[in-house]
Amino acid sequence: MTTDKLYEILCLMVHLDEELGLQRSLEQIRDSLANLANQPATKPYQSDLASALSALSDGADQLRKRISLTEWGAIDELGGSEYFDPSITDKVRTSVGRNAITLSVAHDFVQTLATKRGEFLQVLKTSLEGLSHLLAEEQSKKESPNAEAAFVIPKDLFGNRLGSFGTEINFINQLMEHLSEAVTGEARSAELQSLSSSGPAVVVLAGLGVLHLLGDIINSFLDEWEKIRKMRNVRDQVRELGLSNAANGEITETILATVEEVVEASTRRCLAEYKLDIRLRNELENNLKVDIRRLFGQIERGLTVEIHIREDAKVDEDAKQELRAIAEVAQKMHFPAVSKEPMLLTDNEVLEGEFLRAEVATTKTTTEKAASKRTSRVSIFG
């Protein structure tokens, strides 16, 4: 984890706790349980406990919305997953419910949790204060990005091989370049913001229009995925019933045709505002189709993409509207579980990318030409 990333995660945890009042609610629950253990019939104490539990529940629910997958990974690295777990309210409620008669036991559980969590928060604050002092000059020179995209690449996707991981990096760069060319007319490489070992996650910076487009095409696939999931369930049922292979093959073809329709529609969406040379447009269209098809295949195998924005970004009104639109797109991005039987990319295509596909195509073409020559000789000399 880089110092910049560490600084961001420390800020996130400290500020979220202050904003959501998680530690404050936990301590109020502790105090209410202590009072009720001594005077269990006192209604004001019962009301205080209910209010504190409700406040903790509301704050914990916000954690699910406010912390991204990559940020969860970083929090876990720092040992904070237990203290920022959205299910913390469930644990407290379970303890209270099991010990409704002897509330002193529930009080001891909450007191231990509140004490450990308070000590952890104090370490965070002390570390943040020291890091802020060390990085003060450097941070003052930096401008925080308004938005960024994090590509979380499961290790199974590249076989835990460094070379194949490089292929994934090349693909991300190629995808962002082509999207940039579609939006701006210029193929601009995405700027690497950070690289995290958890995931691993590659965080890149790009223009707002590019990030908006990226989110749109991903959501177009995710919207169709539910339909695809249902078709796959039907196909599995057909297999179990031992019905004809023709029916099984027909469903598979329908699934692949559905994906191809999304690829075509997404490509048209990318090029909707493109007004440059028709030859360049045709080349870009072909490149985008390859990129988008591969992106969908990677998502089926576990790739996830998160788009983060800064709500406090100092930008003009047009940019603020674009940021709000991107935030709405990002909130809709709910990725499916990894498929047990991936259909869109073979293992070799995942590991070697389009390089292998190009090699296979070349070999196939060469073989076809050789076969054609042999056929010609037979027809001539038969």
What is the pLDDT at residue 375?
Answer: 35
DSSP string, 86-122: TTHHHHHHHHHHHTSS-HHHHHHHHHHHHHHHHHHHH
Q: Which two tokens stand for residue 355?
A: 């390089």
What is the pLDDT at residue 382?
Answer: 28
Per-residue confidence in pLDDT tens, the chain, 382 aa = 667 778 888 888 898 899 899 999 999 989 988 888 787 777 888 888 889 899 999 998 888 878 877 788 888 888 888 999 888 888 888 888 776 667 788 888 899 999 999 999 999 999 988 887 776 655 444 445 678 898 988 888 787 788 888 888 899 999 999 999 998 888 888 888 877 776 788 888 888 899 999 999 999 999 888 888 888 777 777 777 776 666 667 777 888 888 899 999 999 999 988 887 788 888 999 999 999 999 998 898 889 998 888 766 566 777 888 888 898 898 888 888 887 777 776 666 655 555 444 443 433 343 344 344 333 333 222 2
What is the pLDDT at residue 228?
Answer: 82
What is the pLDDT at residue 220?
Answer: 92
Number of residues that make up the chain: 382
Inter-residue contact 186 to 275 (CB < 8 Å): no
What is the pLDDT at residue 197?
Answer: 72
The upper half-sphere exposure of residue 170, i.e. CA atoms within 13 Å in the direction of its Cβ, equals 13
Over residues 44-93, the pLDDT tens digits come to: 888 888 898 999 999 988 888 788 777 888 888 888 889 998 888 888 88
CB neighbours of residue 349 within 10 Å: 18
What is the pLDDT at residue 141?
Answer: 44
Query: Does pTM surpass 0.75?
Result: no
Q: Is 284 exposed, middle or buried (0-12, 13-18, 19+ CB in 10 A)?
A: buried
What is the pLDDT at residue 206?
Answer: 87
The Cα–Cα gap between 293 and 78 comes to 37
Q: Which residues make Cβ contacts (< 8 Å) with residue 115, sequence separation at least 6?
A: none
Q: Which two tokens stand for residue 204?
A: 């890149």
Q: Which residues make Cβ contacts (< 8 Å) with residue 302, sequence separation at least 6?
A: 154, 156, 157, 338
Question: Own/partner pairs for 7-11, CB < 8 Å, 24+ apart?
Answer: 7/128, 7/131, 7/132, 7/135, 7/139, 9/71, 9/74, 9/75, 9/78, 10/124, 10/127, 10/128, 10/131, 11/128
Nearest to 145 by CA among 4, 331, 321, 333: 4
